[in-house]
Amino acid sequence: MRGVVMHGPRDVRVEERADPTIEQPTDAVIRVAAACICGSDLWPYRGTDAVTRPTPMGHEYVGVVERIGDELTGVKVGDFVVGSFFASDNTCEICRAGYQSRCVHAFPMGALGTQAEKLRVPMADGTLVVVPGTPNSKQVRSLLAASDVLGTGWFAAVAAEAGPGKTVAVVGDGAVGLLGVLAADQLGAERIIAMSRHADRQALARRYGATDIVEERGDAGVQRIKELTDGLGAHSVIEAVGTQESMMQAIRATRPGGHVGYVGVSHEVELPGEELFFSGVHLHGGPAPVRRFLPDLIASIMSDELDAGAVFDLTLPLSEAAEGYRAMDERRAVKVLLETENA
- Smallest distance from its own copies to CB 23, Å: 25
Contact between 277 and its own copies per CB under 8 A: yes
Contact between 255 and its own copies per CB under 8 A: yes
Amino acid 174 reads G
Using CA atoms, how far residue 289 sits from 31, 75, 150, 264, 269, in Å, is 24, 20, 11, 14, 22
Contact between 223 and its own copies per CB under 8 A: no
- Smallest distance from its own copies to CB 266, Å: 4
Contact between 281 and its own copies per CB under 8 A: yes
Going by C-alpha positions, the residue among 210, 215, 223 that lies closest to residue 167 is 210
Q: Which of residues 147-166 bind its own copies (CB under 8 A)?
A: none
Question: In angstroms, rounded to a whole number, what is the distance separating the alpha carbons of residues 170 and 214?
Answer: 10
Q: Are 147 and 172 in contact (CB under 8 A)?
A: no
Question: In angstroms, rounded to a whole number, what is the distance separating the alpha carbons of residues 57 and 73?
Answer: 29
Q: Is the Cα dihedral 46, 250, 253, 151 positive or negative? A: positive
Going by C-alpha positions, the residue among 34, 214, 215 that lies closest to residue 141 is 34
Contact between 272 and its own copies per CB under 8 A: yes
Question: In angstroms, rounded to a whole number, what is the distance separating the alpha carbons of residues 5 and 185?
Answer: 37
Contact between 302 and its own copies per CB under 8 A: no
Part of the chain binding its own copies (CB under 8 A), chosen from 169-177, 284-292, 319-327, 331-339: 284-292
Q: What is the DSSP letter of 73?
A: -
Q: Which is nearer to its own copies, 17 or 267 (CB)?
A: 267
Contact between 189 and its own copies per CB under 8 A: no
Contact between 176 and its own copies per CB under 8 A: no
Contact between 67 and its own copies per CB under 8 A: no
Build a one-symbol-per-residue string for 227-246: x at contacts with its own copies by CB under 8 A, - elsewhere: ---xxx---------x-x--
Q: Which is nearer to its own copies, 48 or 136 (CB)?
A: 48
Q: How many CB atoms lie within 10 A of CB 136?
A: 10
Part of the chain binding its own copies (CB under 8 A), chosen from 172-180, 254-262, 300-308, 322-330: 254-262
Burial of 312 (0-12, 13-18, 19+ CB in 10 A): buried
Q: Which is nearer to its own copies, 3 or 177 (CB)?
A: 177
Part of the chain binding its own copies (CB under 8 A), chosen from 182-190, 256-264, 316-324, 325-333: 256-264
- Smallest distance from its own copies to CB 212, Å: 19
Question: In angstroms, rounded to a whole number, what is the distance separating the alpha carbons of residues 164 and 190?
Answer: 6
By CB under 8 A, name the binding residues for its own copies: 93-94, 97-99, 101-102, 104, 230-232, 242, 244, 247, 255-257, 262, 265-274, 276-287, 289
